């Protein structure tokens, strides 16, 4: 049975039981009282009858026969015993009389002494009897003057009569009445309980349905409805509960739709808690928004990649992954992160994708590649990883319609479902990252181009201004030399004058290639001015730099510059100075290289001059 119903019926039964008990006790008490009163009256009457009979016997002289008189009276219905005892005065006047007429017990004695009647119940609860011991008091009033026969003062206790009467019939009547009352109360209780059960049924059923519906709601299922059975408050509760459930479902559905739009993928809520899942997705989106704010404030694309790697590791618990950056122009793919290690070698894919980014299926198709069931989907997935039964999921990061980077998750088959579940949220992160990465890359390339000379593709003077101090401090820290080579084409003005400015530009472009080809990749070739070039030879002392300068001079001398339809020979002059021998400050060494170049021009051009103190001493300290 249901708890509420049990409680109410138990309470009602208890009340009924208590009521029965009270009624029974009250009935018994009143029956007892009634029985005593009736018996008292009955015995008083009998006592009076005996007195009159005894007086009559005395007057008619038949007092000797009083014994049989008393026996006859005692046999009257309702009386069990009638016994007369003599008082002390009568005993003195007439002797002690019959044996039965002597005081038999303490009650007799106390009545004879006090002159007060005693009425009491005897015989126990199962066979109750009423005993009355009533005194006969001498009086001159009334029908007969007692004092005529008894020479005693008025009000003397002449004797007493003890009568016992059975009250068994009263007990039976009481039991009958009480039984009837108990049965009536029990009947009333049964009818009340049945009625109450019927009355409680809708309440209990509604409460049960609400309980089931609330349990469902706690588990995220708001589809349960409660039947409205009555038109009273219970029915109203059911209707209002349904309205509440519908309201929540409606609002939750709207929140869910919005969340679906934000995540751009319908989350799989099957068998899961809708409310908890939605709340978790919203929290996830808040984290995505914070992530977006953080990456927008980051300086470089590398920092953004680092944050993506932190999200993968800390939020999604993925420790094995790759992040690739696509260079669409060169069609190469750079590994920016492998298992949280920046700029690590390609590990989870075949190395070939580095030189051919289209080898990566995600780059080629621009779609997510799910290798959680079949690793053969992408041929570039590392054969070694596949042999270890690793699976993968590659998510392209689309920047303005093309793949800018790829995030590859690598996991065990047992983790496949978990990875599938977190995919929508990860995609939300990547969607936020895409425009930011694009902006960072654009900024980087703008910055790069602002530091480059557009015509020759060499670094420009602005670059030098930015990095000069860094170059010197690097050399100082690593205790390595550095030589600056200042170069200038000889008689370049006539080229412009004779062949035109475009021809002059072509000569400068070809010269830039010659310069670049004759130095190491780590050296810096800078277009310093119009036809003036600076080469920073890192970790190179002046002796070694002299050889490089000579090699360049010779290469320029041998080169045939294509100008218009014809070819042209040109020479170049160079001046060089080194750190730390010639100067300690970058701009000082540069100045000395320039002074040496001037000396080379002065010395007849097409030559290399190494700085020496004499070139500057006339001009004083730098
Ligand atoms: N076509 C072209 N000419 C340039 C550029 N920058 C500077 N020039 C020219 O380079 C010439 C430099 O001439 P000058 O400084 O007189 O020296 P030069 O004729 O090379 O003779 P020396 O340096 O003394 O051997 C000038 O005519 C400039 O106009 C450029 O970007 N393109």
Predicted structure pTM score? 0.59
- Expressed in angstroms and rounded, the spacing between residue 552 Cα and the centre of ligand 1 is 19
Whether residue 148 has pLDDT greater than 60 = yes
Whose Cα sits closest to atom 28 in ligand 1?
Answer: 493
At 69-98, the pLDDT tens digits run 888 887 877 788 888 998 888 888 888 777
Residue 622: predicted pLDDT = 56
Lowest mean pLDDT: which of 20-24, 130-134, 464-468, 506-510? 20-24
To test ligand 1's pocket by mutation, which of 531, 553, 570 has the most ligand atoms within 8 angstroms of CB? 531
Question: 88 with 112: CB under 8 angstroms?
Answer: yes
98-112, 282-296, 334-348, 433-447: which has the minimum mean pLDDT? 98-112
- Nearest residue (by CA) to ligand 1, atom 4, is 530
Average pLDDT over residues 250-273: 73
Indicate which residue's Cα is closest to atom 25 of ligand 1: 490
Biggest alpha carbon distance in the chain? 197
- pLDDT level of residue 339 (50, 70, 90 thresholds): very high
Q: Is 101 in the pocket of ligand 1 (CB under 6 A)?
A: no
Both tokens of residue 421?
């579940």
Write out the two tokens for 605. 């051009």
**Ligand 1 pocket member 453 (CB < 6 A):** no
Percent of the chain with pLDDT over 70: 97
CA of 597 to the centre of ligand 1 (A): 15
488 lines ligand 1 (CB under 6 A): yes
What's the pLDDT band for 540 if we cut at 50, 70, 90? very high
Pocket test for ligand 1, best of 458, 460, 490, 493 (most atoms within 8 A of CB): 493
Contact 138, 153 (CB under 8 A): yes
Q: pLDDT-based confidence at 282, cuts 50/70/90?
A: confident
Of 492, 507, 529, 594, the one to substitute when testing ligand 1's pocket (max ligand atoms within 8 A of C-beta) is 492
Q: What is the mean pLDDT of residues 400-411?
A: 93
Question: Is the pLDDT assigned to residue 492 strictly greater than 80?
Answer: yes
For ligand 1, say whether the CB of 284 is within 6 Å of any of its atoms.
Answer: no
Residue 560 is inside which H or E element, if any?
Answer: strand 560-563
Which own/partner pairs from 12-16 qualify as long-range (CB within 8 Å, at least 24 positions apart)? 12/189, 12/192, 12/193, 12/196, 13/189, 13/193, 16/185, 16/186, 16/188, 16/189, 16/192
pLDDT at 104 over 90: no
Mean pLDDT value of segment 188-197: 87
Q: How far is the CA of 506 from the centre of ligand 1 (A)?
A: 13
Give the pLDDT band of residue 34 (cuts 50, 70, 90): confident
Q: Which atom of ligand 1 is nearest to the CA of 493?
A: 19
Task: Assign 352 a pLDDT band (cuts: 50, 70, 90).
Answer: very high
pLDDT-wise least confident of 54-68, 349-363, 595-609: 54-68
Residues 600/573, Cβ–Cβ less than 8 Å: yes
> Does residue 492 line the site of ligand 1, with CB under 6 A?
yes
Q: In this predicted structure, what is the pLDDT of residue 55?
A: 84
pLDDT at 418 over 70: yes
Q: What confidence tier does 200 reach under pLDDT thresholds 50, 70, 90?
A: confident
Whether residue 36 contacts residue 131, with contact meaning beta carbons closer than 8 Å, is answered with no
Ligand 1 pocket, residue 531 CB under 6 Å: yes
Express each pLDDT in 449-480 by its tens digit: 889 999 999 999 999 998 999 899 999 999 99
pLDDT at 607 over 90: yes
Q: Is 38 helix (H, G, I), strand (E, B) or coil?
A: helix
Which amino acid residue places its CA nearest to atom 21 of ligand 1?
A: 491
Residue 151's φ and ψ, nearest 5 degrees, are: -85, 75
- Average pLDDT for residues 148-171, to the nearest whole number? 86
Residue with CA at minimum distance from ligand 1 atom 23: 490
- The more confident residue out of 43 and 551 is 551
Please state, rounded to an integer, the average pLDDT across all residues of the chain.
Answer: 89
Residue having the nearest C-alpha atom to atom 14 of ligand 1: 493
pLDDT greater than 70 at residue 265: no
Strands (E), 55-105: 81-86
Ligand 1 atom closest to 605 (CA): 25
Q: Residue by residue, what is the 3-state secondary structure of 333-375? A: EEEEEECCEECCCCCCECHHHHCCHHHCHHHHHCCCEEECCCH
> Mean pLDDT, to the nearest integer, of 566-594?
95
Q: Ligand 1 mean position to 488 CA, how many Å?
A: 9
CA 493 to ligand 1 centroid distance, Å: 5
Average pLDDT over residues 536-553: 96
Cβ–ligand 1 distance for 418 under 6 Å, the answer no
295-447: what CATH class? alpha beta
pLDDT at 267 over 60: no
Mean pLDDT for the stretch of residues 17-26:
86
Atom 1 of ligand 1, residue of closest alpha carbon:
504
The answer on pLDDT for 532 being more than 90 is: yes
Ligand 1: atom nearest CA of 497 is 27
pLDDT exceeds cutoff 90 at 271: no
For residue 619, name the pLDDT band (cuts at 50, 70, 90): low
The 10 Å Cβ neighbour count of residue 311 is 20
Task: Tell me the pairing of strands 572-579 and 608-610.
Answer: parallel
Q: Which whole number is the average pLDDT over 479-484? A: 96
Atom of ligand 1 nearest to the CA of 488: 23
Higher-pLDDT residue of 142 and 217 is: 217
* CA of 313 relative to ligand 1 center, distance in Å: 58
Give the residue-averaged pLDDT of 578-603.
95
Q: Which CATH class is domain 461-617?
A: alpha beta
The predicted structure's pLDDT at residue 31:
81
Residues of the chain with CATH 3.30.70.270: 461-617
The yes-or-no verdict on residue 494 having pLDDT over 90 is yes
Cβ-contact 390, 306 below 8 angstroms: no
Q: Distance, CA 612 to ligand 1 centroid (Å)?
A: 27
Query: Per-residue confidence at 551, pLDDT binned at 50, 70, 90?
Result: very high
pLDDT at residue number 272: 62
**Ligand 1 nearest-atom number relative to CA 496:** 1
Task: Using the predicted structure, report yes or no on whether residue 375 has a pLDDT greater than 60.
Answer: yes
Domain 3-166 belongs to what architecture? 2-Layer Sandwich (3.30)
**Exposed/middle/buried for residue 150 (C-beta within 10 Å: 0-12, 13-18, 19+):** middle
pLDDT score, position 419: 93
């Amino acid at each position: 049975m249901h708890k509420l119903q049990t409680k109410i019926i138990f309470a009602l039964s208890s009340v009924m039981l208590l009521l029965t008990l009270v009624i029974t006790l009250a009935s018994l008490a009143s029956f007892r009282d009634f029985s005593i009163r009736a018996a008292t009256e009955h015995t008083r009457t009998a006592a009076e009858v005996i007195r009159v009979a005894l007086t009559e016997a005395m007057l008619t002289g038949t007092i000797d026969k009083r014994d049989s008189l008393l026996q006859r009276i005692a046999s009257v219905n309702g009386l069990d015993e009638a016994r007369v005892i003599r008082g002390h005065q009568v005993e003195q006047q007439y002797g002690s009389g019959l044996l039965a007429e002597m005081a038999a017990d303490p009650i007799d004695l106390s009545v004879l002494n006090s002159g007060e009647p005693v009425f009491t119940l005897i015989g126990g609860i199962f066979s109750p009897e009423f005993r009355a011991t009533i005194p006969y008091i001498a009086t001159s009033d009334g029908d007969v003057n007692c004092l005529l026969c008894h020479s005693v003062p008025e009000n003397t206790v002449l004797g007493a009569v003890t009568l016992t009467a059975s009250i068994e019939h009263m007990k039976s009547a009481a039991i009958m009445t009480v039984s009837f009352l108990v049965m009536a109360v029990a009947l009333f209780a049964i009818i009340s309980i049945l009625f109450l059960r019927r009355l409680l049924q809708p309440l209990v059923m509604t409460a049960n349905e609400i309980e089931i519906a609330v349990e469902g709601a706690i588990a995220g299922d708001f589809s349960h409805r409660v039947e409205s059975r009555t038109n009273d408050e219970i029915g109203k509760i059911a209707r209002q509960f349904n309205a509440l459930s519908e309201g929540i479902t409606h609002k939750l559905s709207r929140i869910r739709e919005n969340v679906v739009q934000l995540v751009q993928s319908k989350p799989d809520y099957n068998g899961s808690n809708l409310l908890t899942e939605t709340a978790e997705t919203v929290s996830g989106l808040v984290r995505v928004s914070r992530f977006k704010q953080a990456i927008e404030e980051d300086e470089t694309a590398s920092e953004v990649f680092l944050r993506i790697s932190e999200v993968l590791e800390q939020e999604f618990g993925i420790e094995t992954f790759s992040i690739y950056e696509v260079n669409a122009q060169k069609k190469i793919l750079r590994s920016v992160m492998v298992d949280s290690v920046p700029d690590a070698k390609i590990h989870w894919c075949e190395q070939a994708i580095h030189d051919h980014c289209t080898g990566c299926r995600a780059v080629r198709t621009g779609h997510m590649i799910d290798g959680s069931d079949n690793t053969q989907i992408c041929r570039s997935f590392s054969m070694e990883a596949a042999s270890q039964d690793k699976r993968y999921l590659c998510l392209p990061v689309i920047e303005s319609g093309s793949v800018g980077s790829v995030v590859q998750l690598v996991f065990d088959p047992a983790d496949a479902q978990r990875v599938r579940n977190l995919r929508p949220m990860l995609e939300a992160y990547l969607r936020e990252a895409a425009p930011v990465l694009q902006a960072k890359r654009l900024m980087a390339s703008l910055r790069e181009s602002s530091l480059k000379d557009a015509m020759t593709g060499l670094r420009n003077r602005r670059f030098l201004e930015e990095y000069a101090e860094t170059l010197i401090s690097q050399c100082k820290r690593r205790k390595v030399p550095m030589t600056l080579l200042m170069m200038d084409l000889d008689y370049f003005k006539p080229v412009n004058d004779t062949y035109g400015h475009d021809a002059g530009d072509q000569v400068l472009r070809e010269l830039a290639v010659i310069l670049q080809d004759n130095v190491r990749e780590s050296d810096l070739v800078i277009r310093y001015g119009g036809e003036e070039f600076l080469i920073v030879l890192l970790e190179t002392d002046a002796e070694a730099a002299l050889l490089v300068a000579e090699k360049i001079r010779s290469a320029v001398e041998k080169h045939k510059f294509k100008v218009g339809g014809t070819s042209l020979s040109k020479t170049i002059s160079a001046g060089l100075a080194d750190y730390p021998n010639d100067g300690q400050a970058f701009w000082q060494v540069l100045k000395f290289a320039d002074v040496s170049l001037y000396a080379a021009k002065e010395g007849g051009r097409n030559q290399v001059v190494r700085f020496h103190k004499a070139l500057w001493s006339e001009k004083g300290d730098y």
